[in-house]
Amino acid sequence: MKIRFAGAVIMGLMLAVSSAAHADRLDDIKKAGVLRVATFDSNPPFGFVDPKNNQIVGLDVDYARAVADKLGVKLEIQPTNPANRIAFLKSGKVDLVFANFTITDERKKEVDFSTPYFASGTQFIAKKGVLKTPQQLNSLRVGADKGTTNEQQVRAQFPGATIVAYDDTPFAFAALRTGNVQAITQDGPKLVALLANVPDKANYEISPFTISNDYEGVGVPKGETRLLNVVDDTLKGLEANGTAGKIYDQWFGPSSRAPLPRLFKIGDPQKS
Amino acid sequence: MNGWLEPKYVGWLAHGFEMTLLLSACVIVSATLLGVALAMARNARNGFVTRIAALYVLVFRNSPLLVQLLFWYFGAATLLPQSWMEWLNTPHTLSLSTFTLAWPPFEFVAGWIGLTCYATTFVGEEFRAGMRGVKDGQYLAAAALGLAPFGTFRYVILPQAIRIATPPLAGQYMNIVKNSSLTMAIGLAELSYTSRQVDTETFKTFQAFGAATVLYIATIAAIEVGLILWKRRSAHAWQRGNA
């Protein structure tokens, strides 16, 4: 009993020491004068290479730059992809991950997440004026991609909807154009990218609501509470002074190439 | 393996199987009727009619069925006026005293048309082969008995042609059942579509596709059995001399 107690105390001390030894990443960043951030380099408009000057730009990059500016340090971008962004963070090669990083319980075991700064979810494209409220879906024929969670969510939430599943999104959109279905469903950002390439996109609109929500946050190394707090405060500050909305509008606003209504603001309560 | 499918998903598969059977039956009936007409057109005395029939076979037998289905569902639909498409896509019911006849979804209509156009060429060619298999002497004998061309066809040639064509026709009917699975590409909820849907919801891949495979094999086997029974019966009839 005594030995076990002593063991627990030692363990506790070791943990305290180790976290104390690591939890000064914020000081390291300030000392180095550089914030190293991992972003996507081929996922427009979140992070992609601008062909004009070969720099990585995008929504995630703009938010990362705002955090760097708040800290008063230079921003250094490290290109990443969905497979290695957690590894970059855990091995200490980067300080933060801004890579359309969806917050999940599984990932929370590996990294800490900031407050969400972007949300996406299952949305719809329909002819202008057809789809205003979610309840209308119950009387519509809805096209979906085979095997997606979008298809399953519509089936579970709107039993009255007739779901017709196609092999991929362009097929579903072709069915919408010919009038075989009245709406098609996919994740909002994917619908936006699809609509951007359509010649008669003025006839269609993206639904002003989502029926499910994924939240994207900044990936922060586990246990770096001070760094996490600075990121959270910066994001909230960006919303308060209107910068967050401006950054969003630059990439998804009404005059952008791929307009998507802004349904989520930083600090909004999260829906499931 | 983790167990069998839940009743809900078995219901989905049953629904899909029902749709496969319904679609196959509709296509078999329409392709048989049109196939006879096509075979007659190809043997017609009018050169123009023969050439049109040959062109039809050329077009529909020499392009992939999947492309044809996509054409009917996505392509042909864009040519129709918008109001027609709206009418085709809204449910209509026809109430007949005891039961109601529901208008099928557009996926079904497109699948039916596409499969019928394709299967008609094969069924028609089998009929033509059957008609050519009837010996010339039969035509001459019918003429000698004073039968007109239609009478010759109806009472002398057709009964014999059907007997010759039936075994290969059964093979074509099996192909129709199997080809109906391609309509999953245009979103028709038949057996292949529902088994895919069950697989993605339950992750019980073996059970989902295994069940679909067994149901397809059972359907084909039923056609096979029908053919064997028919052969036996007609052999008896042949021996009794009243075929």
Identical fold, A23-119+214-252 and A122-206: yes
Give, in degrees to the nearest 5, the angle at Cα A109 between A108 and A111.
Answer: 60
> What does the alpha-carbon distance between residue B119 and residue B28 come to, in Å, rounded to a whole number?
8
Residue A117, both tokens: 């700064």
Query: Which residues does residue A143 pair with via DSSP β-bridges, in sequence order?
Result: A164, A184
What SS3 class is residue B93? strand
Q: Do A171 and B74 touch (CB under 8 A)?
A: yes
- Looking at residue A46, its amino acid is F
How many CA atoms are closer than 13 Å to the CA of A52, on its beta-carbon side? 1
Mutate to test the interface with B, among A164, A182, A185 (most CBs of B within 10 A): A164
Q: Count CB-CB contacts under 10 A for residue A236.
A: 16
Handedness of CA A71, A74, A77, A83 (dihedral sign): negative
Residue B24, both tokens: 């196959």
> What does the alpha-carbon distance between residue A194 and residue A199 come to, in Å, rounded to a whole number?
11
Residue B118, both tokens: 């394709």
Alpha helix segments (H runs only) across chain B: 7-42, 47-61, 65-70, 76-79, 82-89, 106-132, 136-144, 149-151, 158-179, 191-202, 205-240
CA torsion angle A121 A214 A232 A44 (round to 10): -60
Q: Do B74 and A167 touch (CB under 8 A)?
A: no
Give, in degrees to the nearest 5, the angle at Cα B74 between B32 and A182.
Answer: 120
The pTM of the full predicted model, rounded to 2 decimals, is 0.74
- Looking at residue B234, its amino acid is S
What SS3 class is residue A47? strand
Low-confidence ranges of chain B (pLDDT < 70): 1-2, 93-101, 238-243
Mutate to test the interface with A, among B73, B194, B195, B205 (most CBs of A within 10 A): B73
Superfamily of domain A122-206: Periplasmic binding protein-like II (3.40.190.10)
pLDDT, residue B80, reads 84
First and final C-alpha spacing in chain B = 53
Q: Are B195 and B214 in contact (CB under 8 A)?
A: no
Between the CA of residue A163 and those of A140, A172, A180, A183, what are the distances in Å?
9, 11, 11, 10
Q: Which of A146, A164, A179 sits opposite B107 (nearest CB)?
A: A164
Residue with tokens 């005891």: B98
pLDDT, residue B85, reads 80
Q: Which of A143, A166, A179 sits opposite B82 (nearest CB)?
A: A179
- Closest approach of A118 to chain B, Cα-based (Å): 28
Residue of B nearest to A162 (CA): B105
Residues of B within 8 A of A140 (CB-CB) are none
- Looking at residue B30, its amino acid is S
Q: How far is CA B191 from the centre of its chain?
A: 16
Domains of chain B: 7-94+103-240 (1.10.3720.10)
Domain A23-119+214-252 has CATH 3.40.50.10070: no
Count Cβ–Cβ pairs < 8 Å, chain A vs chain B: 46
> What does the alpha-carbon distance between residue B69 and residue B118 come to, in Å, rounded to a whole number?
9
Q: Are B219 and B173 in contact (CB under 8 A)?
A: no
What SS3 class is residue A218? coil
Q: Are A96 and A37 in contact (CB under 8 A)?
A: yes
Residues of B within 8 A of A165 (CB-CB) are 187, 193, 197
Residues of A within 8 A of B193 (CB-CB) are 165
Residue with tokens 């095997």: A147
Per-domain residue ranges for chain A?
Answer: 23-119+214-252, 122-206
> What does the alpha-carbon distance between residue B30 and residue B24 come to, in Å, rounded to a whole number?
10
Q: Do A178 and B201 touch (CB under 8 A)?
A: no
Q: Count CB-CB contacts under 10 A for residue A37.
A: 28
Residue A127, both tokens: 């002819």
Handedness of CA B138, B142, B143, B148 (dihedral sign): negative
Residues of A within 8 A of B201 (CB-CB) are 152
The DSSP call for residue B4 is P
Q: Are A77 and A56 in contact (CB under 8 A)?
A: yes
pLDDT, residue A16, reads 54
- Looking at residue B49, its amino acid is V
Q: What is the ipTM of this complex?
A: 0.78
Q: Do B187 and A166 touch (CB under 8 A)?
A: yes
Q: What is the pLDDT along chain A (272 residues), one digit of tens a residue?
A: 556 666 666 666 555 555 445 558 999 999 999 999 999 998 888 999 999 999 999 999 999 999 999 999 999 999 998 888 999 999 999 999 999 999 988 889 999 999 999 998 999 999 999 999 999 999 999 999 988 889 989 999 999 999 999 988 889 999 999 889 999 999 998 898 888 888 888 899 999 999 998 899 999 999 999 999 999 999 999 999 999 999 999 999 888 887 888 989 998 888 76
Instruction: Select from A1, A26, A5 the least CA-distant residue to A228.
Output: A26
Q: Are B50 and B44 in contact (CB under 8 A)?
A: yes
**B26 Cβ neighbours under 8 A, 6+ residues apart:** B112
Secondary element (H or E) of residue A31: helix A25-32
DSSP string, A19-73: HHHHTTHHHHHHHHTEEEEEEESEETTTEEE-TTT--EESHHHHHHHHHHHHHT-
Residue B175, both tokens: 């192909």
Secondary element (H or E) of residue A142: strand A141-145
B162-221 residues touching A, CB cutoff 8 A: 185-187, 193, 196-197, 200-201
Residues of A within 8 A of B108 (CB-CB) are none
Residue A255, both tokens: 């005059």
